[in-house]
Amino acid sequence: MTVQLTKDLYTAEVSVQGGRQNGHAVSADKTFDVRITPPTDMGGSGEGTNPEELFAAGYAACFQGALGVVARRQKVDTGESTVTAKVTLGSIDGGGFGLKVALEVAIPGVDSDTVQQLIEAAHQVCPYSNATRGNIEVDLRAV
């Protein structure tokens, strides 16, 4: 099922030259400007960022925002929470590549059952979760 927007709220625009091997990414407003290189695990210098780190940062930030939304509705304080996204690149059948994600959520002072319930609710709200649902493995963990 394709998720359809009912109202556009914001559009990010980033241009990349050089791809993942020796790339450079810059936003239209010039506030985001990064070098893209392969990680050392893949034979690169590790002197820049890579698409998986960028995806992990975006997903973690977005998920934390969604967590805040659902927590406020339930009057739970998530001000000290941390969301860690682990994005793994791997091979898939047919010679292509794919991703899997593990999201680890810590909310100090909140019991584990409530944390798990908030994680599940945030997963229904988060735009990244909605975009990836049914397409890649996403493991949700309370830590």
pLDDT of residue 90: 95
13 pLDDT exceeds 90? Answer: yes
User: Does residue 120 sit in the same domain as residue 76?
Assistant: yes
Whether residue 90 contacts residue 46, with contact meaning beta carbons closer than 8 Å, is answered with no
- Is pTM beyond 0.75? Reply is yes
pLDDT of residue 121: 98
User: Does residue 129 sit in the same domain as residue 62?
Assistant: yes
pLDDT class of 3 with cuts at 50, 70, 90: confident
73 in a structural domain: yes
* Residue 116 one-letter amino acid: Q
pLDDT of residue 46: 83
Question: For residue 40, what is the domain's CATH number?
Answer: 2.20.25.10
User: Does residue 35 sit in the same domain as residue 81?
Assistant: no
Query: Rounded CA gap, 121 and 100, in Å?
Result: 20
18 pLDDT exceeds 80? Answer: yes
Average pLDDT over residues 55-63: 98
Domain span including residue 112: 51-142
User: Does residue 29 sit in the same domain as residue 94?
Assistant: no
15 in a structural domain: yes
Q: What is the DSSP letter of 22?
A: S
Helix boundaries (H) for 2-142: 51-73, 112-125, 127-132
Number of domains making up the chain: 2
